[in-house]
Amino acid sequence: MANSAQARKRARQAECRRQRKAGQRSSLRTHIKNVVKAIATGDAEAAQTAYRKAVPVIDKSVGKGLIHKNKAARHKSRLGQHIRTLQN
């Protein structure tokens, strides 16, 4: 347990950040899962719509330091590839 006032404050801040990031991470995963589900159904239009909603969420998570920019690029690239194969 934290002994100094500074350490107690840092522990409080860390807990607040952990909870905030947990919600953001959950939202990110939900948006990605929505795209994956739309791809699985084979509906190209729904997949494209879900993808358009997911991309800004993915980009914002990079700006907030939630995920690395390369991970975001990988997600967008792979989801985009799946959608393109559906459209052909």
Chain centroid offset of residue 40 CA: 19
pLDDT at 37: 97
pLDDT at 9: 95
pLDDT at 69: 97
Phi-psi region at 6: left, alpha or beta (left = phi > 0; alpha = psi -120 to 50): alpha
Instruction: For the chain, give every domain's residue range.
Output: 23-87
pLDDT at 80: 96
Q: Which CATH architecture has domain 23-87?
A: Up-down Bundle (1.20)
Q: Where are the alpha helices (DSSP H) in 42-68?
A: 44-63
Give the Cβ contact number of residue 52 at 10 Å. 10
pLDDT at 1: 75
pLDDT at 39: 96
Averages of pLDDT over each 10 residues, the chain, 88 residues: 91 96 97 97 95 97 96 97 92
